[in-house]
Amino acid sequence: MSDAPSTEDVDFGFARVPAEEKTHRVQAVFTSVASRYDLMNDLMSGGLHRLWKRFALAALALPPRARVLDLACGTGDLTRRLARRRETALLVACDRNEAMLRRGRERLEDAGHTGVRPVCADAEALPFPDGSFDAVIIGFGLRNVTRPDRALAEMHRVLAPAGRAVVLEFSRLRPRLLRPLYDLYSFGVLPRLGAAVAGDAASYRYLAESIRRHPDQETLAGMMRSAGFADVVHHDLHAGLVAVHRGTRP
């Protein structure tokens, strides 16, 4: 097998770019927004992201003393919620972006959660043995992975039999009448908000575009089945603005 960089083109927002270029661009986006990421999440969603994350964590249905991987953990919002439960035997916070991971580690330490293991790694090539975890969750990260199908395959690989994966992600808004208003907010308001709060309009324009390029609910469910997951179901939140997908490793 050749070690040469892939020449495959992939989506970066509305643009098509070589796979390696997307990886570097996404890294630059999250390095730029890391310090204001949590504040922007609250402002962009009006605080609704907290409800979405609560629903996603409930979908994990963790067994006692579970081994849990928070993949593409960002600044560790889901990780902190898991740590507060004090019901995990192992909790790993994994992200490829060092600035986001560092910010997440600082917030965990500020909250007194010292037992979390931070790992800087690519979701497409996880540095964990097969069957290492009882649960894997990825929140608002899958659409930023260069090759989501590979990340789903890795999630499946590192799960133990009967382990559960949950994907929380923006999805296809169901009511067509609301889509023009959603577009106006996404492409008119968000970049301006990003410029004012984070000093970076371009990154938030990309994030809005990446939502439109992300597979819809049914397509993502099919991708999870193709990766080997069984019992795949999804739940729409706020009329499909966000969806929670769940699957089990047989």
* In-domain check, residue 193: no
**Helix, strand, or coil (residue 141):** coil
Q: Is residue 134 part of a domain?
A: yes
Q: Count how many domains the chain has.
A: 1
Whether 151 is covered by a domain: the verdict is yes
Close Cβ partners of 84 (under 8 Å, ≥ 6 residues apart): 111, 113
Query: Tokens 């069957």 appear where?
Result: 131
How far is it, in rounded angstroms, from Cα 193 to Cα 114? 34
Global pTM value: 0.95
Q: What is the pLDDT of residue 87?
A: 78
The CATH number given to whatever domain includes residue 147 is: 3.40.50.150
Asked whether residue 30 is domain-assigned, the answer is yes
Does residue 4 carry a pLDDT above 50? no
Domain range enclosing 214: 9-174+206-248
Read off the pLDDT of residues 15-62 as tens digits, 9 standing for 90 and up. Answer: 999 999 999 999 999 999 999 999 999 999 999 999 999 999 999 999
| Strand ranges across the sheet with 133-139 | 117-120, 88-95, 66-71, 133-139, 159-170, 242-248, 230-237
Q: Is residue 194 part of a domain?
A: no
**Is residue 2 included in any domain, yes or no?**
no
- pLDDT of 1: 36
Q: Is residue 64 part of a domain?
A: yes
Residue 201 falls inside a structural domain: no
pLDDT confidence tier of residue 239, bands split at 50, 70 and 90: very high
Task: Let me know the angle formed at the C-alpha of 142 by 72 and 9, rounded to the nearest 5 degrees.
Answer: 120
Q: What is the DSSP string of 75-106?
A: TTHHHHHHHHHT-EEEEEEEES-HHHHHHHHH
Q: Is the pLDDT of residue 90 over 60?
A: yes
What's the token pair of residue 226?
């193709």
> How far is CA 55 from its chain centroid?
15
